[in-house]
A and B are shown apart, each in its own frame.
Chain A
Amino acid sequence: AQSVTQPDIHITVSEGASLELRCNYSYGATPYLFWYVQSPGQGLQLLLKYFSGDTLVQGIKGFEAEFKRSQSSFNLRKPSVHWSDAAEYFCAVASSGGYQKVTFGTGTKLQVIP
């Protein structure tokens, strides 16, 4: 069965500092990988996704993520965090065959301090 681990429940960074959110997945074949962001009271917004090809994926809002098969990781990065980035971030994995049953991690809550 597929699974996702986000080891950091909360992360606090200063505005302008760099950010890395960790994600490890478990899946038998090459997975589809996603990062979503959820602001309070809002639905999930897709930041970026990896299906195949270049392992460094660019997303919206200046985010990027790197797929590392050898480490089963898909960490999210941003070089300079803005106060508006404060939200909860979810890593997710889906099967690359059949229909897309998505399994989410438990989320990392990002706090940005001035």
Chain B
Amino acid sequence: GAGVSQSPRYKVAKRGQDVALRCDPISGHVSLFWYQQALGQGPEFLTYFQNEAQLDKSGLPSDRFFAERPEGSVSTLKIQRTQQEDSAVYLCASSPPRGKEDTQYFGPGTRLTVL
């Protein structure tokens, strides 16, 4: 079956622009996670959804970052007034209901470059 997909794969933004990154999880996956991976680093947790509820947003670096999953499926990560330090790969992962298979499946990521 289809895996996690993300779009766009690459995004170049001028400093100060707003961007929106999309994640399509695997069908039926309840949990959805966003991670930020800076160059040469491991992914870092940003936020977690269970269905449409955002249960943890402790990793969002500033109030310029906003994520939503209004119907419990597709999720969008929005970054307002982008800064150069926002340049990174943004990874989305989804997983089935807890206890069924506690594994996160990752998408290919969106590489954001802020000029």
Binding site for B on A (CB under 8 A): 4, 32, 34, 36, 41-46, 49, 51, 90, 92, 94, 99-107
Contacts and interface: CB of A to CB of B under 8 A. Distances in A.
Interface residues of B, number: 26
A41 B109 CA distance: 8
Contacts of B55: 99
A1 to B, nearest CB: 11
A100 B108 CA distance: 20
B18 interface: no
Interface of B: 4, 31, 33, 35, 40-45, 48, 50, 55-56, 91, 93, 95, 98, 102-109
A103 B50 contact: no
Contacts of A51: 102
Contact of A102 (B40, B45, B50): B45
Contacts of B35: 104
19 contacts: A36-B106, A42-B108, A43-B91, A46-B103, A46-B104, A46-B105, A49-B103, A92-B42, A99-B48, A100-B98, A100-B102, A100-B104, A102-B33, A102-B43, A103-B45, A104-B42, A106-B41, A107-B40, A107-B42
